A and B are shown apart, each in its own frame.
Chain A
């Protein structure tokens, strides 16, 4: 069974600085996908970024980028130029290839951006 581990329950960062959230996963599969979701205080889950395991290039979306290390089974999220609106729970998620959308979530990291 696949598992997703987020080892940092809480983190804080000053506005405009950079922060990295950690995620590791355990799988014997070779084909899979990884995601970071954000859940702000409103509790509306929003996809931040996604990565296909077969792609070596790390995904980026504006201020958000990932460091995908397939051999180490690591998938960290870097947020640059942090903004107050980035304050949220961040969940790392794993999806096996052809698993019909069955996402496996980590327990989340609560990020606070301080002015």
Chain B
């Protein structure tokens, strides 16, 4: 089955620690995205990548970092510089064609990160 996997589903960390969220896709999509979702809010874009070894900041990139060493993988690191890291994090992927297909994004099941 093709899809996106995110692990773990729940993650707990102490304040001041960096933590890396995993995202893997086997859809052969070029583009991958990371979103943050807070209660009562829509999704906000953290980082996105259109191609291996290249990525761009989204609207709320401060305190986060990413890498894209393989087409299938787009891990997100939440650093200690992120002031309010507790949230639900969603990874997505899409075709990269410069068309409406880029907006048809396939999402993973998400990771709930709690930092205390």
Q: Do residues B33 and A91 form an inter-chain contact, with CB atoms below 8 A?
A: no
Q: A100-B31, A101-B33 are in contact. Are A44 and B107 (CB under 8 A)?
A: yes
In the complex, what distance in Å separates the CA atom of A98 from the CA atom of B100? 9
Q: Do residues B98 and A98 form an inter-chain contact, with CB atoms below 8 A?
A: yes
How many residues on the A side are at the interface (Cβ–Cβ under 8 A)? 25
**For residues 6 through 60 of chain A, which have their beta carbon under 8 Å from a beta carbon of chain B?**
9, 33, 35, 42-47, 50, 52
How many residues on the B side are at the interface (Cβ–Cβ under 8 A)? 26
Q: Do residues B48 and A47 form an inter-chain contact, with CB atoms below 8 A?
A: no
Binds B, one of A69-77, A78-86, A103-111: A103-111
In the complex, what distance in Å separates the CA atom of A44 from the CA atom of B91? 10
Contact of A101 among B41, B102, B107 (CB under 8 A): B102
> Which B residues fall within an 8 A CB radius of A?
31, 33, 40-45, 48, 50, 56, 58, 88, 90, 92, 94, 96, 98, 100, 102-105, 107, 109-110
